[in-house]
Amino acid sequence: QYKFSNCGSNPSNHHIQLKGLQITPHPIKIPGFASFKLDVDVSEDIVHPLQTTFDLKGKALGITLPIKCENGVGSCTYPDWCVAC
């Protein structure tokens, strides 16, 4: 099971809204590859650099743990998401 949310307290200030997330395979196998499909609504033109932060957490044995950034994968901040894609 996975969940997603937009960050920030005022969604009207968000120019990009995450509407859906699909991860395959699910559950993710480690080691291995995973594919993430994002469904977003964009309300304004995107001007880069567009700094983007992903905060990923995993759950094991009922304990929620952060997933650290390794080689650009995990809970990472990308200085320009337009280039990272």
What one-character-per-residue DSSP string does 28-66 give?
PPSSS--EEEEEEEE-S---S---EE---EEEETTEEEE
Return the pLDDT at 21. Answer: 87
Return the pLDDT at 77. Answer: 92
Return the pLDDT at 68. Answer: 92
Q: What's the CA gap between 37 and 43, in Å, rounded?
A: 19
Taking the domains of the chain in order of start, what are their residue ranges? 1-45, 48-85
Return the pLDDT at 23. Answer: 87
Return the pLDDT at 33. Answer: 85
**Which residues, given as ranges, of the chain have pLDDT below 70?**
1, 8-9, 11, 84-85
User: Which of the 8 DSSP states describes residue 70?
Assistant: B
Q: What's the CA gap between 4 and 56, in Å, rounded?
A: 9
